[in-house]
Amino acid sequence: GQNIDQPTEMTATEGAIVQINCTYQTSGFNGLFWYQQHAGEAPTFLSYNVLDGLEEKGRFSSFLSRSKGYSYLLLKELQMKDSASYLCAVHGSGNTGKLIFGQGTTLQVKP
Amino acid sequence: SQTIHQWPATLVQPVGSPLSLECTVEGTSNPNLYWYRQAAGRGLQLLFYSVGIGQISSEVPQNLSASRPQDRQFILSSKKLLLSDSGFYLCAWSVRSPLHFGNGTRLTVT
């Protein structure tokens, strides 16, 4: 079967650093994506990892270990506007581009 | 640049009524197109995807159907809505990667 796990909820303080973990078991692997989704809105693309290691993009970084089926999204210098759901998604086998999404992690940033 | 249009933004429909949601993409050719649904407090579930005109793949058995009459047009339909069809419907496109989503349609079946 295919399974993507992430914590349901997290809370962090403004200005702090938070790490959101994602583990996956899929038939085939062609990349892992992180999306941000504010309440009532569509998801927006944050990052993409296909090789092991860290990808940095401003305050956001994403890490991948293919051998462990593990990724994390690191958010630095948290701002109130970072309160949102963060979705981990895997592109499995084939060339259809379809993504399998985890349930999402709702992050609440407190002052 | 590429844009994706999805409408309507919100919809309230009675049980047993038909449904038609439309999605169009601009600024790209031969995109892969997708319909996802997100139930309240849940993750995104892939309903249909299409790699070309007239080519539709269904991911889960359900009360819905999809069609792609033109390269950049994707339509989600139902002949008779069920209460369980309520949710947030998202159209998305990709050329290689990543997926880019439309603004979504919030459907409430009453």
User: Which regions in chain A score pLDDT beneath 70?
Assistant: 1
pLDDT of residue B88: 96
If one counts every other C-beta atom within 10 angstroms of the C-beta of residue A79, the result is 11
**Based on C-alpha coordinates, what's the Rg of chain A?**
13
Express each pLDDT in B89-107 by its tens digit: 999 999 877 899 999 999 9
pLDDT of residue A1: 66
How far does the CA of residue B83 sit from the closest CA of chain A (Å)?
A: 20
Express each pLDDT in B49-102 by its tens digit: 999 999 999 987 778 999 999 999 999 999 999 999 999 999 999 987 789 999
Q: Would you call A42 and B32 a contact, using CB atoms and an 8 Å cutoff?
A: no
What is the Cα A8 distance to its own chain's centre?
Answer: 12
pLDDT of residue A93: 77
Q: Is A46 exposed, middle or buried (0-12, 13-18, 19+ CB in 10 A)?
A: middle
Residues ≥6 apart with Cβ < 8 Å to B72: B24, B25, B26, B28, B29, B31
DSSP per-residue string spanning B21-87: EEEEEES-SS-EEEEEEE-TT--EEEEEEEEETTEEEESS-SS-EEEEEETTEEEEEESS--GGG-E
Find residues 48-67 of chain B whose CB sits inside 8 Å of chain A.
49, 51, 57, 59
Tell me whether B43 touches chain A (CB under 8 Å).
Answer: yes
pLDDT of residue B97: 74
